[in-house]
Amino acid sequence: MVKFTKMHGLGNDYIYFDCIEDANLIKDVAEVAVKLSDRHFSIGGDGIVLILKHDVVDYQMRMFNADGSEAEMCGNAIRCVAKYLCDNNYVTESNVKIATGAGILAIEIHRNENNKFISATVDMGEPILNGLSIPTTIDKDKVVGEIISLENDNSYLMTCVSMGNPHAVIFTGEITDEQVLVDGKELEVHKFFPNRINVEFVKIINKNEVEMRVWERGSGETMACGTGACAVCVAAKLNGLTEDKVTVQLLGGDLEIEWNQENNHVYMTGTATTAFEGVVEI
């Protein structure tokens, strides 16, 4: 029996395991992720996250999707890790660095007058725009407004961005279930994307607000995606649709995203919530 904490960032929910004292607490991680993520027969979630010590910085996050595949990063999950470290007194300062599959990220923790976690701002680093580096099979410095066609004869203009994990952003007048649940699923495994891809469908509200739904690689549609929101901010700016700072409205709530043009870093601010704790047999 192993202790876990169920947390979510705007409804993007994962099962978190404290592996700080025992890095080998969870064995057969991919198998455990598939088993525990099942919403009908187990805890349920978009995957699992391991919180570990790290040799270079204090802590590390490893995350596994509901299908057992390991992902490089998750913006909502890293805010939850920051909250967990704060709530359990692992971190008492306002700043912490956490290692991820996308590199080491710096996080500023915002607390209330009672020193309780409110939200976190994550320096998500520089967006990767080169087509082969994202990766896609498109050999261009920037993949902006590129046509992608599907087997059902639907086609879209996409802009691709990596925030440590790959995203294809599609702007549309209205976001439909068919786009997200049918075309998003096909786009994830399109031949353009050697490592599969996360797909964001986006409606522009105004220069400072957008609406977004996401089909996440390995998990299907989720309530929110932090790296996806960052990719949307970058893609919208590249297409001349928004300003540098935008509020991204997701199914689970809002994220504040800024692409700082001076240092070319993207900053994400949002909440994190503990749903419940428990023990589970693995």
Active site residues: 74, 225
**DSSP E strands, 132-252:** 146-149, 155-162, 166-171, 198-206, 209-216, 220-222, 245-250
- According to DSSP, the β-strands at 245-250 and 209-216 are parallel
Q: What number of CA atoms fall less than 13 Å from residue 146's CA on the CB side?
A: 19
Compute CA distances 88 → 59, 84, 85, 197, whole Å. Answer: 13, 6, 5, 34
Which residues have a Cβ under 8 Å from the Cβ of 177 and sit 6 or more positions away?
A: none
- Reading the block at residue 156, the tokens are 């879209």
- According to DSSP, the β-strands at 47-53 and 12-18 are parallel
Give the residue among 216, 214, 210, 222 at the shortest CA–CA distance from 173: 210
